[in-house]
Amino acid sequence: MLKFLKSNKGLVYIIFGNIFGALLTGGFWLLLASLQSVEEYGETSYMISMASLASSFALLGLNTAITTFIPKGHDKIQVAANQIILISSIIAALIVAQRDWLLGLFVVGMTFWMMSIYELLGRKSYKQYAIANIGARGCQLLLSIIFYYIIGIPGIIIGFTVSFFLFSHRYFLSIKYFKKDFSEISGKMKFALHSYSFNMSNALLMYLDKIIIPSIFGYAILGYYQLGFQFLMFLGMVPISFFQYLIPEESSGHKKAKLRIIGFGLSIGLAALLYFLSPTLINVFFPQYENSLDAIRVISIGIIPMMIAYIINSKFLSEGNTKGVVIGAIIYQILQITLMIVLGRLIEVTGIALSVVIALTGQAVFLLLYKKLSKKVI
């Protein structure tokens, strides 16, 4: 075990940064649940999800591109990518600002921060990545709660925005090198746009349901669902950590087959843990959210197909093979959006959670079949 940890020290840093960051983020949402009414909790989730999804659109897949190509020797790719990001983030911010100008600033801050931490991953600066992730999440928790007590929900948006900008130093360092030269990125845009579909699939998994739910079911249902979703996002940091570690490692030629098997086994253990512990967690800490219990138990199963999808997609992206990634993302979106509306009307919160699990499973099954067929063709 010690030998494994030493040979995969970067993974340890990423998992530590993501898990601790997820603890802070989860802590924020759980603390907020105790401070707000269910409806206000749902409204806060709606606003943050809207701005976060806009930021994901603005990234254009360039965050994955720099993580993939910096280890291959394209050391200056982030400068050209960041110039494009400046334009795309401003456009996304102007659109979201129609709802609230603070959300526009949130979009720019989050986009700059994402480019900063993905550059650190590409450079294999895993310790610095962990610091930037934990630092931003810690500031969000502290500042958002303080500002919420002062000015309400807008204070939460300000707290998030300030935290993003504080830990976007890698982006700001690149600004002095901006020039009208996009040669480093021009040949990589096809890869970026293809991986963009995969990135947007993840973003839509995290945010789209919280934007659609209020218009169909109301803020109260979203409030119940949001609590359950936080448990999935916390556990989801493990497959995300494997994904973030495997792309730069395998892009530079290191084989990690054993690590993939460990990841799959770990996902089964995590799913079982949440499934059996969730009744106790709700009864002890969130008795007012008892309507979330079935949704939490259902959504816990989703960690298994999520791990499978992330592991296979990391392999495809490290090889520059984006076709399967794109198709898998489309399959996920069609299943999730359709089933969320249908099952949500039938069994409300539990149905929405079930739609996520079915969509993740459909995506994972496709990717497994596509990987097998790809090997036969080769």
Mean pLDDT of 268-274: 92
pLDDT for the residue 76: 77
Backbone phi, psi, residue 161, to 5°: -65, -50
234 pLDDT band (50/70/90 cuts)?
Answer: confident
Q: Kindly report, residue by residue over 312-329, the tens digit of the pLDDT.
A: 888 887 777 778 888 888
CB atoms within 10 A of CB 275: 16
Mean pLDDT of 318-341: 84
Asked if residue 5 has pLDDT above 70, the reply is: no
pLDDT for the residue 314: 81
Asked if residue 377 has pLDDT above 50, the reply is: no
pLDDT for the residue 6: 59
Kindly report which listed range (53-62, 237-246, 302-311) carries the lowest average pLDDT score: 237-246
253 pLDDT band (50/70/90 cuts)?
Answer: low
Q: Are 22 and 237 in contact (CB under 8 A)?
A: yes
pLDDT for the residue 3: 59
pLDDT for the residue 378: 44
* Mean pLDDT (the chain, rounded): 85
Asked if residue 12 has pLDDT above 50, the reply is: yes
Asked if residue 50 has pLDDT above 80, the reply is: yes
Mean pLDDT of 244-253: 71
Asked if residue 1 has pLDDT above 70, the reply is: no
HEC sequence for the chain: CHHHHHHCHHHHHHHHHHHHHHHHHHHHHHHHHHHCCHHHHHHHHHHHHHHHHHHHHHHCCHHHHHHHHCCCCCCCHHHHHHHHHHHHHHHHHHHHCCCCHHHHHHHHHHHHHHHHHHHHHHCCCHHHHHHHHHHHHHHHHHHHHHHHHHHCHHHHHHHHHHHHHHCCHHHHHHHHHCCCCCHHHHCCHHHHHHHHHHHHHHHHHHHHHHHHHHHHCCHHHHHHHHHHHHHHHHHHHHHHHHHHHHHHHHHCCCCCHHHHHHHHHHHHHHHHHHHHHHHHHHHHHCHHHHHHHHHHHHHHCCHHHHHHHHHHHHHHHHCCCCHHHHHHHHHHHHHHHHHHHHHHHHHHHHHHHHHHHHHHHHHHHHHHHHHHHHHHHC
Alpha-carbon distance of 82 to 59, in angstroms, equals 9
Mean pLDDT of 102-117: 96
Mean pLDDT of 170-181: 85
Kindly report which listed range (40-49, 182-191, 286-295) carries the lowest average pLDDT score: 182-191
Q: Are 281 and 210 in contact (CB under 8 A)?
A: no
Kindly report which listed range (153-167, 319-333, 354-368) carries the lowest average pLDDT score: 319-333
Kindly report which listed range (74-88, 208-222, 244-258) carries the lowest average pLDDT score: 244-258
pLDDT for the residue 7: 58
251 pLDDT band (50/70/90 cuts)?
Answer: low
Kindly report which listed range (108-112, 310-314, 349-353) carries the lowest average pLDDT score: 310-314
Kindly report which listed range (14-18, 84-88, 341-345) carries the lowest average pLDDT score: 14-18
pLDDT for the residue 369: 92
Asked if residue 235 has pLDDT above 90, the reply is: no
